[in-house]
Amino acid sequence: MTAPLLSVRGLRTWFHTFAGIVKAVNGVSFDLMPGEVMGLVGESGGGKSVVGFSILGLIDPPGKIEQGEIVFDGRDLAQLPEDALRRIRGREIGMVFQDPMTSLNPVQTIGRQMDEVLRLHTTLDARARRARCVEMLESVGISQAAERLGAYPHQFSGGMRQRVVIAIAMLARPRLIIADEPTTALDVTIQSQILRLMRRQIAEEGASMILVTHDLAVVAEMVDKITVLYCGKVVEAGPVREVIDTPAHPYTRGLIDSIPNPAHRLPRLNQIPGTVPDVRNLPAGCNFRDRCPRAQALCAEVEPPLIPKRGGQQAACHFPVAIGEPA
C-alpha cells in the first residue's frame, strides 16, 4: 500500500483573543493519498480555512498550532522553521485563494509574478522560465500568452485572474494544491470553466488537492472524498458519493437537505434550526446537539468520537442516520 502524501493527526489550531480562546481547529485528522482530491466542507466558523492555512504554515499570532502533526512526504510541517516552510510553499504545495482580486500583486506584471515563483523554486535559466510561464498560461486557457505576460492584473477579468492564480500555483509542479473557495467569487458559467480546468490540471500533473469550500455542489463535482467540519471538528468523512447519498451525521444530512434540489422540489426546505454556537464557549458533549433533531441525554454528556460506519465512511455521532431513514 502506498503511503499518504499528507497525513494530518490531531491538529489543534487555536486563536488566543482578548475575548477568550477560539478553538478554530480542535482535533482534526485525515489522510490524503497521492493523486487524491479531498473536499473540506462546512459552514462559516467550521474551521475549514484554518486547516488549510495550518498546513501551509500561515497561522499568525494570536493564532497558534497547539498540537498535532502535519506529515507531508515524511516531514512534520508543524515542526519546521519558517525558512524551511518557505521552500515548500510554492514548490511542493501550491495555493489558490478565493479572491482573485487580492491574491495578485496589482503593481507587478503577471509575467514578473510568475517568474518569481520559478526563480525561487527552480534552477531554470531566464529563457526556460519564460517558456514555462507561456506554456502554463496557455494551458489555463489564456490566449496570446507571450504578450499577456506584460499585462497587469487589473487588465484581466475576475475569471481570467483566477486562471492566472491557478497557473502560478501549478508553475513549479507542486504535489499538493490547497484551493480555498477558488470559485466562490466567480459567476456560474465561469465557475464551471475554472473547475473543469483545475480538474484537468490536477489529473495531468498527478497532483493531490484539498478543496476548501462551503458549496457541497462544487464538492460533488470535483472530489474523491469529503471531510465535513463543524465547530473545528470532523463530524463526518468518507467517499464523496457515499457521504452525499447516505450521510450518517445529522449535520451532514441537514446541510444536504437545506440545498434546494430542482430534481425534487419540496414546499418547504428542511432547515437546520438555530445557529452555530459561539466557538469561544462550546457546549459540553456534542457541539451540534442544540440544533440536532436526534439529540438525547447522552449527547450532552459524552462527546461522540469519530468512528467507522459503513463503506469507508466515518461519523462522530451517537445516533447516526441509517440508510433510507428520514431525518
Partner 1 sequence: MTAMLEVARLEQRFQLSKGLLDRISFKGGIPRLRDTTVHAVNGVSFSIAPGEVLALVGESGCGKSTVAKTIARIYEPTGGRIRIDGEDVSTYGPRKMLPVRAKMQMIFQDPFASLNPRQKVRDIVAEPLLQQLGSGRRAEVSERTAALLARVGLNPEQAGRYPHQFSGGQRQRIGIARALSVNPGLIIADEPVSALDVSIQAQILNLMLDLRDEFGLAYLFISHDLSVVHHIADRIGVMYLGFMVEAAPRDRLFAQPRHPYTRALLSAAPTIEPHRRTTEIELTGEVPSALSLPSGCCFRTRCPFAWDRCAAERPALRDLGGGQSVACHLIDEPERDRL
- Name the residues that contact partner 1, by CB under 8 A: 43-44, 157, 159-160, 187-193, 195-196, 214-218, 220-221, 244, 254-263, 265, 267-273, 275
The Cα-based distances of 69 to 1, 7, 8, 76 in angstroms read 21, 8, 6, 6
Of the pair 259, 322, the CB lying nearest partner 1 is at 259
Of the pair 171, 286, the CB lying nearest partner 1 is at 286
Of the pair 91, 161, the CB lying nearest partner 1 is at 161
Q: What angle do CA 198, 203, 208 make, to 5 degrees?
A: 80
Nearest approach, Cβ of residue 91 and partner 1 (Å): 31
Sequence-distant (≥ 6) Cβ neighbours of residue 326 within 8 angstroms: none
Single out the residue of 55, 66, 59, 174 nearest to residue 121, CA to CA. Answer: 174
Of the pair 179, 216, the CB lying nearest partner 1 is at 216
Q: What angle do CA 309, 211, 144 make, to 5 degrees?
A: 150
Nearest approach, Cβ of residue 127 and partner 1 (Å): 31
Nearest approach, Cβ of residue 184 and partner 1 (Å): 10
Nearest approach, Cβ of residue 317 and partner 1 (Å): 17
Rounded to 5 degrees, what are φ and ψ at 40?
-110, 105
For helices 158-170 and 110-121, give the axis angle rounded to 10 degrees: 10
Nearest approach, Cβ of residue 214 and partner 1 (Å): 7
Neighbours of 315 (CB within 10 A): 27
Of the pair 41, 306, the CB lying nearest partner 1 is at 41
